[in-house]
A and B are shown apart, each in its own frame.
Chain A
């Protein structure tokens, strides 16, 4: 039950994030789908592995769904990317960095800081991998047409 509520929370969070970055009104409801789907993967994976690795797999799905939606709705892909990554953002790692730092525990603060960097890096890596693969695919398709 808690799982379902969290996913609904992710959907609403993605939609409201889309409004705050002024996504086009006609596409708002659609931006929530990659966000919620990515968070489902994150929640399922986070029990089995490290948070940064779970973020990586969730981001891969978000990027694929985002690219697919962008092509389907003929809209810039960032409209789907930016709101959908909000649920995965390393907010808690960032908060804990500040929290432990204030409480004088610099070791835990450093650990949280590394965690935040790793999660941000995981999102970046997912975008790098999928976008580059798509470019290679496009390049090969163009080549085939020319022959």
Chain B
């Protein structure tokens, strides 16, 4: 029986780890993990999550049962909404007893499979920049120019992976290049174009939207620990974007 409880705790820890690594809100992770733990039938199930860690305990008031505690350290985090969705579905099926525990664990192991290739995400980044130029009311020439901005942003992502930049440096790096190149092109072209819209659009793929939205939802649930951590995350990235734009624009002044 003990091994069965251990198995449940491990499946719960695995589900929680995947969700935290995919930028899920703390309350969602705690809720999902607790539901999986409750399938054991024991009456003490405690889960605590921070953005960087997961702690779970499975215990019972029956003194015969020894408590099981698992801790998981979360180091790599990224935007993978798809994984949250799939873990959510698996845990729902498990708690409705549609699938067995072993099946759930096997499926959780497979969640890491990529649904998108890296290049399709780069393409999406490029079109995101173009679509934003249209959305902000850019004319046809500005839209065409935003393709270049999109390509620069997508290429800088490859640069990020090549030399392992952290989020802050990446934000500065990518926006500096984009704002410098776009402003230079606009100033050299004889047409009266506005570089503002294109640069604003080029900032968008880097904008910390996930961190910001989750921070609000975490704070709403009373998870101030995670909420403040995520707000700080969003502020650091936003600061790096502003710094990058400022750097790029002053470079243009120096060079041209």
Q: Contact check, A5 vs B81: say whether CB atoms are below 8 A apart.
A: no
Secondary structure at chain A's binding surface: helix, strand, loop or mixed?
helix
| Contact residues in B for A82 (Cβ distance below 8 Å) | 79, 81, 209-210, 213
State how many angstroms separate the Cβ of B248 from the closest Cβ of chain A. Answer: 9
Could you say which residues of chain A place their CB within 8 Å of the CB of B84? 76, 78-79
Q: Give the interface residue-count category, chain A.
A: 35 or more
Q: How far is the CB of A20 from chain B (nearest CB, A)?
A: 5
Query: Which listed residue (B92, B115, B124, B216) contacts A16, Cβ 8 A?
Result: B124
Report the tally of A-B residue pairs with Cβ distances under 8 A. Answer: 158
- A78 and B24 contacting across the interface, CB-CB below 8 Å: yes
Return chain B residues, CB-CB under 8 Å to A75: 85, 88
Docked Cα-Cα span, A25 to B116, in Å, equals 8
Q: Determine the distance from Cα of A89 to Cα of B212 in the docked complex, in whole angstroms.
A: 10
Please tell me if A95 contacts chain B, counting CB pairs below 8 Å: yes
Whether A45 is near chain B, meaning CB under 8 Å from some CB there, is no
CA distance A82 to B210 in the complex (A): 6
Contact B79–A20 (Cβ < 8 Å): yes
Say yes or no: B135 contacts A92, CB within 8 Å. no
Chain B residue at minimum C-beta to C-beta distance from A73: B85
Interfacial residues of chain B within 70-92, with CB under 8 A of chain A in the complex: 79-86, 88-89, 92
Are B125 and A6 touching (Cβ within 8 A)?
no
- Interface assignment of A57: CB less than 8 Å from any CB of chain B: no
How distant is the Cα of A16 from the Cα of B132 in the complex, in angstroms?
A: 10
A89, A98, A128 pick with most chain B CB within 10 angstroms: A98
CB contacts (< 8 Å) of A9 on chain B: these are: 131-136
Contact status A128-B220, CB under 8 Å: yes
Q: Pick from A27, A95, A124: contact of B196, CB below 8 A.
A: A95
If A39-B135, A92-B136, A131-B220 touch, whether A13 touches B204 (CB-CB below 8 Å) is: yes
A95 to B138, CA, bound (A): 16
Other A-B contacts than A9-B132, A25-B82, A95-B199, 6 sampled, CB-CB below 8 A, are: A8-B134, A19-B121, A20-B79, A21-B80, A92-B196, A95-B245
